[in-house]
C-alpha cells in the first residue's frame, strides 16, 4: 500500500530500503524520482506514457541479459548503462 503524499510512488522510502537493503539510498532515490516523473504522463499524455512503458520494457530485457544479480545492476546504474 502506498504511503503518505511525501513518500515515493511505490510506497514509503523506508519500505523501499527494507525491500532493497543492499541498494544504496541515493540509488533508491534516483529510481523513485525517475518513477515519479513518469506517472504524470498517464493522465496528461497517455500515448507518450505508452511509448515510455515500451522503452522501459526493452530496457528491462537488456538489463536482465546483462545484469544477472543486484551487484551487476548497481554497477550498470553507476556507469549509466
Structure confidence at residue 61 (pLDDT): 93
Structure confidence at residue 4 (pLDDT): 39
pLDDT higher than threshold 50 for residue 6: no
Burial pattern 10-34, b for ≥16 Cβ within 10 A else e, equals beebeebeeeeeebeeeebeebbee
- Tell me the pTM: 0.55
At residue 76 the predicted structure's pLDDT band, cuts being 50, 70 and 90, is: confident
pLDDT tens across 13-58, in order? 566 667 778 899 999 999 899 888 888 888 889 899 899 899 999 9
How many Å apart are CA 78 and CA 23, to the nearest integer? 12
Amino acid at each position: 500500500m502506498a504511503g503518505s503524499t511525501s513518500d515515493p510512488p511505490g510506497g514509503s522510502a523506508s519500505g523501499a530500503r527494507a525491500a532493497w537493503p543492499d541498494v544504496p539510498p541515493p540509488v533508491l532515490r534516483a529510481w523513485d524520482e525517475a518513477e515519479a516523473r513518469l506517472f504524470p504522463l498517464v493522465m496528461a499524455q497517455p500515448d507518450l506514457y505508452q511509448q515510455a512503458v515500451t522503452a522501459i520494457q526493452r530496457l528491462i530485457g537488456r538489463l536482465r541479459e546483462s545484469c544477472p544479480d543486484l551487484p551487476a545492476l548497481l554497477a550498470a546504474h553507476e556507469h549509466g548503462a
